[in-house]
């Protein structure tokens, strides 16, 4: 009997404190294993979600949720896309230099041409900047955009010769014709009025129309 007690007393060569800790640890493991059998965990994966949900087809509520989600995703993408691009009418030379293929000289020309125009209506107008090649435009076209709402317009019925001739789209003969028309007939009411009276060419009208304010 004493040898039997000695066996348990010296159980596997552990001290009393070590044996107690081992028993506690074993009890915890048994409890955890038993708990998993009583309350089995169920991992839900995407494969377990049925694609053909009842009422999905033809369900206007489902379609509305999908549509709204798609619209919101497109809006978010558009928002971040615009934030990652440079706005041409608000960017200075230092910002423009960060574009591929644009050095100090070209960035200065872009700003100068912008000032002459009164602002860019479209990024495509960068093709008109002296020295900016088609290859360079292709490199930067996806990285810039123009906010046409910031464009400064010309009040055509109040502008003088200096103001009109400064704009790149006006020819000297056209400026003279516009001022002469003011003297003889008065106000110009529309871009159509300008072309019908041969004040400007049709080509000029297409480019300059968005830059004119007829004061109506």
Q: What is the DSSP string of 61-121?
A: HHHHHHHHHHHHHHHHHHHHHHHTSEETTT--HHHHTTSTT--HHHHHHHHHHHHHHTS-S
Distance CA 82, CA 3 (A): 85
Q: What is the DSSP letter of 199?
A: S
Specify the 3-state DSSP secondary structure of 212: strand
Residue 173: per-residue pLDDT: 97
Q: What global pTM score does this model have? A: 0.61
Residue 80: per-residue pLDDT: 42
Residue 15: per-residue pLDDT: 66
Residue 23: per-residue pLDDT: 77
Those residues of the chain that have pLDDT short of 50 are 4, 44, 46, 48-49, 76, 79-81
Residue 26: per-residue pLDDT: 79
Q: What is the mean pLDDT of the chain?
A: 82
Taking a C-beta distance cutoff of 8 angstroms, is the pair 167, 208 a contact?
A: yes
Residue 103: per-residue pLDDT: 96
**CA of 117: how far to CAs of 21, 142, 154, in Å?**
85, 22, 10
Distance CA 38, CA 34 (A): 6
């Amino acid at each position: 009997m004493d040898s039997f007690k000695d066996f348990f007393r010296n159980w596997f060569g552990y001290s009393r404190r070590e044996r107690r800790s081992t028993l506690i640890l074993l009890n915890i493991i048994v409890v955890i294993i038993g708990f998993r059998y009583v309350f089995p965990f169920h991992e839900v994966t995407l494969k377990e979600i049925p694609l053909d949900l009842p009422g999905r087809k033809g369900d206007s509520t489902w379609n509305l949720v999908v549509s709204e989600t798609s619209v919101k995703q497109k809006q978010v993408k558009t928002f971040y896309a615009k934030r990652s691009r440079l706005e041409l009418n608000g960017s200075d030379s230092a910002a423009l230099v960060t574009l591929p293929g644009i050095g100090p000289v070209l960035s200065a020309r872009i700003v100068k041409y912008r000032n002459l125009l009164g602002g860019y209506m479209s990024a495509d107008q960068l093709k008109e900047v002296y020295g900016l090649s088609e290859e360079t435009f292709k490199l930067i076209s996806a990285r810039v955009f123009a906010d046409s709402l910031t464009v400064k317009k010309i009040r055509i019925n109040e502008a003088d010769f200096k103001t009109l001739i400064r704009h790149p789209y006006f020819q000297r003969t056209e400026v003279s014709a516009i001022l002469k028309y003011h003297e003889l007939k008065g106000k110009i009411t529309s871009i159509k009025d300008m072309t019908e009276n041969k004040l400007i060419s049709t080509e000029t009208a297409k480019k300059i129309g968005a830059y004119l304010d007829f004061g109506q």
